[in-house]
Protein backbone atom coordinates (compact mmCIF):
# COMPACT_ATOMS: atom_id res chain seq x y z
CA UNK A 1 0.00 0.00 0.00
CA UNK A 2 1.12 3.54 -0.76
CA UNK A 3 -0.03 6.98 0.31
CA UNK A 4 -0.82 10.12 -1.68
CA UNK A 5 -1.92 13.52 -0.41
CA UNK A 6 -3.58 16.27 -2.43
CA UNK A 7 -4.96 19.75 -1.71
CA UNK A 8 -7.45 21.13 -4.22
CA UNK A 9 -9.93 23.26 -2.29
CA UNK A 10 -12.54 22.06 0.17
CA UNK A 11 -11.54 18.54 1.12
CA UNK A 12 -15.06 17.04 0.96
CA UNK A 13 -15.39 17.44 -2.80
CA UNK A 14 -11.82 16.31 -3.34
CA UNK A 15 -12.38 13.19 -1.26
CA UNK A 16 -15.45 12.19 -3.29
CA UNK A 17 -13.41 12.29 -6.51
CA UNK A 18 -10.95 9.71 -5.17
CA UNK A 19 -12.82 7.43 -2.80
CA UNK A 20 -14.57 5.23 -5.36
CA UNK A 21 -11.59 4.72 -7.67
CA UNK A 22 -10.62 1.08 -8.11
CA UNK A 23 -7.42 0.58 -6.13
CA UNK A 24 -8.08 3.36 -3.61
CA UNK A 25 -8.30 1.56 -0.29
CA UNK A 26 -9.01 4.50 2.04
CA UNK A 27 -9.40 8.27 2.06
CA UNK A 28 -9.22 10.64 5.01
CA UNK A 29 -9.78 14.39 5.11
CA UNK A 30 -7.59 16.64 7.18
CA UNK A 31 -4.79 19.17 7.16
CA UNK A 32 -1.15 19.27 6.10
CA UNK A 33 1.57 21.80 5.42
CA UNK A 34 1.23 24.09 8.42
CA UNK A 35 3.04 24.95 11.62
CA UNK A 36 0.40 24.28 14.29
CA UNK A 37 0.34 20.79 15.79
CA UNK A 38 -3.02 19.02 15.74
CA UNK A 39 -4.96 22.03 14.40
CA UNK A 40 -8.72 22.21 14.60
CA UNK A 41 -10.85 23.11 11.60
CA UNK A 42 -11.62 26.41 13.31
CA UNK A 43 -7.91 27.20 13.66
CA UNK A 44 -7.16 26.32 10.04
CA UNK A 45 -10.02 28.59 8.90
CA UNK A 46 -8.31 31.60 10.51
CA UNK A 47 -5.75 31.33 7.68
CA UNK A 48 -2.96 31.61 10.28
CA UNK A 49 -1.79 28.00 10.71
CA UNK A 50 -0.40 27.53 7.20
CA UNK A 51 -2.29 24.26 6.69
CA UNK A 52 -4.09 23.20 3.54
CA UNK A 53 -7.26 21.14 3.52
CA UNK A 54 -6.12 17.80 2.10
CA UNK A 55 -7.26 14.33 1.21
CA UNK A 56 -4.90 11.63 2.42
CA UNK A 57 -5.24 8.55 0.21
CA UNK A 58 -4.12 4.97 0.77
CA UNK A 59 -3.94 3.08 -2.51
CA UNK A 60 -2.84 -0.25 -3.94
CA UNK A 61 -0.27 0.63 -6.58
CA UNK A 62 -0.70 -2.76 -8.23
CA UNK A 63 -4.21 -1.63 -9.18
CA UNK A 64 -3.95 2.15 -9.62
CA UNK A 65 -0.81 4.16 -10.28
CA UNK A 66 0.23 7.50 -8.87
CA UNK A 67 -0.01 8.97 -12.37
CA UNK A 68 -3.68 8.06 -12.52
CA UNK A 69 -4.26 9.77 -9.17
CA UNK A 70 -2.48 12.86 -10.52
CA UNK A 71 -4.76 12.85 -13.58
CA UNK A 72 -7.81 12.90 -11.30
CA UNK A 73 -6.26 15.65 -9.16
CA UNK A 74 -5.69 17.92 -12.18
CA UNK A 75 -9.21 17.29 -13.50
CA UNK A 76 -11.17 18.21 -10.37
CA UNK A 77 -10.01 21.77 -9.71
CA UNK A 78 -8.52 24.91 -11.23
CA UNK A 79 -4.78 24.60 -10.62
CA UNK A 80 -4.20 28.23 -11.63
CA UNK A 81 -5.94 29.61 -8.54
CA UNK A 82 -3.31 30.11 -5.85
CA UNK A 83 -5.27 30.40 -2.60
CA UNK A 84 -8.83 29.67 -3.59
CA UNK A 85 -11.18 27.30 -5.34
CA UNK A 86 -14.51 28.71 -6.43
CA UNK A 87 -16.05 30.70 -3.58
CA UNK A 88 -13.60 29.31 -0.99
CA UNK A 89 -10.76 31.76 -0.34
CA UNK A 90 -7.68 31.38 1.88
CA UNK A 91 -4.39 29.51 1.97
CA UNK A 92 -6.19 26.46 3.37
CA UNK A 93 -7.83 26.08 -0.07
CA UNK A 94 -4.57 26.23 -2.03
CA UNK A 95 -3.65 23.76 -4.73
CA UNK A 96 -0.80 21.47 -3.70
CA UNK A 97 0.63 18.01 -4.14
CA UNK A 98 2.31 16.64 -1.02
CA UNK A 99 4.78 13.97 -2.10
CA UNK A 100 5.77 11.05 0.12
CA UNK A 101 8.91 9.94 -1.72
CA UNK A 102 11.22 11.01 -4.56
CA UNK A 103 9.31 8.95 -7.10
CA UNK A 104 6.13 10.89 -6.31
CA UNK A 105 8.02 14.20 -6.38
CA UNK A 106 9.40 13.46 -9.84
CA UNK A 107 6.01 12.23 -11.07
CA UNK A 108 4.28 15.33 -9.75
CA UNK A 109 6.87 17.66 -11.31
CA UNK A 110 6.64 15.87 -14.66
CA UNK A 111 2.85 15.93 -14.57
CA UNK A 112 2.74 19.65 -13.70
CA UNK A 113 5.24 20.38 -16.48
CA UNK A 114 3.17 18.44 -19.01
CA UNK A 115 0.07 20.40 -17.98
CA UNK A 116 1.93 23.72 -18.29
CA UNK A 117 3.22 22.80 -21.76
CA UNK A 118 -0.27 21.76 -22.89
CA UNK A 119 -1.45 25.40 -22.60
CA UNK A 120 -4.79 24.08 -21.34
CA UNK A 121 -4.99 27.13 -19.07
CA UNK A 122 -4.37 30.76 -20.00
CA UNK A 123 -2.83 31.43 -16.58
CA UNK A 124 0.22 29.73 -15.06
CA UNK A 125 -0.19 26.62 -12.91
CA UNK A 126 -0.08 27.65 -9.22
CA UNK A 127 0.05 24.13 -7.75
CA UNK A 128 2.83 23.77 -5.19
CA UNK A 129 4.73 20.50 -4.88
CA UNK A 130 5.79 20.01 -1.27
CA UNK A 131 7.22 17.22 0.86
CA UNK A 132 4.46 15.59 2.90
CA UNK A 133 4.62 16.36 6.59
CA UNK A 134 2.36 15.48 9.47
CA UNK A 135 -1.22 14.71 8.51
CA UNK A 136 -3.81 15.92 10.99
CA UNK A 137 -7.28 14.35 10.53
CA UNK A 138 -10.23 16.73 10.51
CA UNK A 139 -12.67 16.48 13.38
CA UNK A 140 -15.63 14.17 12.81
CA UNK A 141 -18.19 16.96 13.26
CA UNK A 142 -16.94 18.86 10.26
| 10 assigned to active site | yes
- Alpha carbons 65 and 2: distance in angstroms, whole number: 10
**Mean pLDDT, the chain, whole residue set:** 94
Q: Containing domain of residue 19, as a range?
A: 2-137
The pLDDT-based confidence of 46 (bands split at 50, 70, 90) is confident
Question: Does pLDDT of 142 surpass 60?
Answer: no
Average pLDDT of the segment spanning 83-106? 94
Q: Which of 2, 9, 10, 134 does the annotation list as catalytic?
A: 10
| pTM score, whole prediction | 0.95
The pLDDT-based confidence of 141 (bands split at 50, 70, 90) is low
The pLDDT-based confidence of 59 (bands split at 50, 70, 90) is very high
| Domain count for the chain | 1
**Per the domain annotation, does 142 fall within a domain?**
no
Question: Does pLDDT of 20 surpass 70?
Answer: yes
Question: Does pLDDT of 14 surpass 90?
Answer: yes
Q: What CATH number did the domain enclosing 65 receive?
A: 3.30.1060.10
Amino acid sequence: MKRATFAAGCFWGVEVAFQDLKGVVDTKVGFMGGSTESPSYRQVCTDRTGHAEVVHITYDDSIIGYGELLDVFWSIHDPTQKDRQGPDVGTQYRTAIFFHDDEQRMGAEMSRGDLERSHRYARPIATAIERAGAFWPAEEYH
